[in-house]
Amino acid sequence: MPPALTRLPAEDSVSAILDAYDAEGGLIVEGMFDRDVIDDLSRAASEHARAVEPGVADQGMGEDGKFFTGSKTIRFSSLGRITPAYFDLLDNELFATLADAVLLPNCGSYWVNTAQVMFIGPGESAQVLHRDADNWFQHVSPTWPDTPEVTISAMIALDEVTEEVGATRVVPGSHRWPELEVYDFEAETVPAELSPGDALVYSGKVLHGGGANRTTDRWRRAMHLSFVVGWLTPEEANALDYAPGELAGRSPRVQRLLGHRSYDPRPHIGGGLWLRHARPIEDQA
């Protein structure tokens, strides 16, 4: 097995965290999210999960889609609809600092790609190894392996996440492998074991996948939150979850992350490309 992923406390320096991220393609940040925010999300997610059948999040592809998302796994999004603690998660300062450092060299701003509860059920098999940036394959394929970073992800523990219940498996260093398309199901992986509030923060370029749940009666209770550069379309149509004005009391960052602000390419080029319309647009923060 390759060496375990680097684990650093959230209080460590941003440069130490970014160095580990660059070197391995991901790391574990301990205590990244406030415990009260995590407890709130955990409660709301568990309650909502009772109404969700395992395997229904099949990417609209039936059995073929479950190959990726799991047939014994509960997944759902639109998390701001189940608890406002989600907005606190989006305002997390350390994740903002890391995402700024990784993504802002390549965009004027970024937004939420997807935020999903991912509860891996007893007996679920391991997810296929993949790179999250392959969502935008037309960007990744011609530029690999020097692909500019377009997405950063976090797997956030809502409960103890052990290897046995299906901790995310990561192939450290695979963000730099010369070959993009790797179908090696035997690749050497390490599990990202987490306590509540810890996060696996990883590059869209690193190979990883959900682990098998080898228990008969316990769930892998975690969630995923990822950002993508503002010039690419996210996996989820997040903006539709909130009516116009509904995010007025939230921070400008939350409004932007959820698609309630225009894209401004500055400082890379020119100015905002939007025009004044019949409806007032937001002032730029």
Ligand X SMILES: O=C(O)CCC(=O)C(=O)O
Cβ nearer to Fe ion, comparing 37 with 170: 170
User: In the bound complex, what is the minimum distance in angstroms from residue 15's beta carbon to Fe ion?
Assistant: 26
CA 145 to chain centroid: 21
User: In the bound complex, what is the minimum distance in angstroms from residue 82's beta carbon to ligand X?
Assistant: 19
Is there a contact between 171 and 208 (Cβ–Cβ < 8 Å)?
yes
Cβ nearer to ligand X, comparing 195 with 262: 195
User: What residues numbered 99-118 form the site for ligand X, per CB under 6 A?
Assistant: 118
**Binding residue (CB under 6 A) for ligand X from 168, 189, 213, 255:** 168
Report CA-CA distances (Å) from 60 to 63, 65, 78, 215.
9, 7, 17, 28
Interface with Fe ion, residue 235, by CB under 5 A: no
Which position's Cβ is nearest ligand X? 210
| Total H helices, total E strands in the chain | 7, 10
User: What residues numbered 52-91 form the site for ligand X, per CB under 6 A?
Assistant: none
User: Which of 32, 73, 25 lies closest to 207 in space, CA to CA?
Assistant: 25
Interface with Fe ion, residue 236, by CB under 5 A: no
Interface with Fe ion, residue 24, by CB under 5 A: no
Cβ nearer to Fe ion, comparing 83 with 153: 153
Crossing angle of helices 14-24/93-103, nearest 10°? Answer: 50
Task: Find tokens 């599990």 and name the residue.
Answer: 191
Cβ nearer to ligand X, comparing 131 with 256: 131
Cβ nearer to ligand X, comparing 109 with 127: 127
Interface with ligand X, residue 155, by CB under 6 A: yes
Q: How would you class 26 by CB atoms within 10 Å of its CB: exposed for 0-12, middle for 13-18, buried for 19 or more?
A: buried
Give the whole-angstrom CA distance, residue 18 versus residue 23. 8
Give the whole-angstrom CA distance, residue 285 versus residue 276. 17
Cβ nearer to Fe ion, comparing 82 with 133: 133
Cβ nearer to ligand X, comparing 19 with 58: 58
Question: How many amino acids of this chain bind ligand X (CB under 6 A)?
Answer: 8
User: In the bound complex, what is the minimum distance in angstroms from residue 67's beta carbon to Fe ion?
Assistant: 14
User: In the bound complex, what is the minimum distance in angstroms from residue 137's beta carbon to ligand X?
Assistant: 14
User: Which of 120, 130, 122, 123 lies closest to 223 in space, CA to CA?
Assistant: 120
Task: Find tokens 């939350």 and name the residue.
Answer: 254
Q: Which stretch binds ligand X (CB under 6 A): 13-21, 57-65, 177-185, 206-214?
A: 206-214
DSSP string spanning 173-220?
TGGG-S-S----TT---EE--B-TT-EEEEETTS-EEPPP---SS--E
261 binds, among ligand X, Fe ion, none (CB under 5 to 8 A by kind): none
Interface with Fe ion, residue 132, by CB under 5 A: yes
**Binding residue (CB under 6 A) for ligand X from 209, 230, 234, 259:** 209
Q: Which residues bind ligand X (CB under 6 A)?
A: 118, 127, 132, 155, 168, 208-210
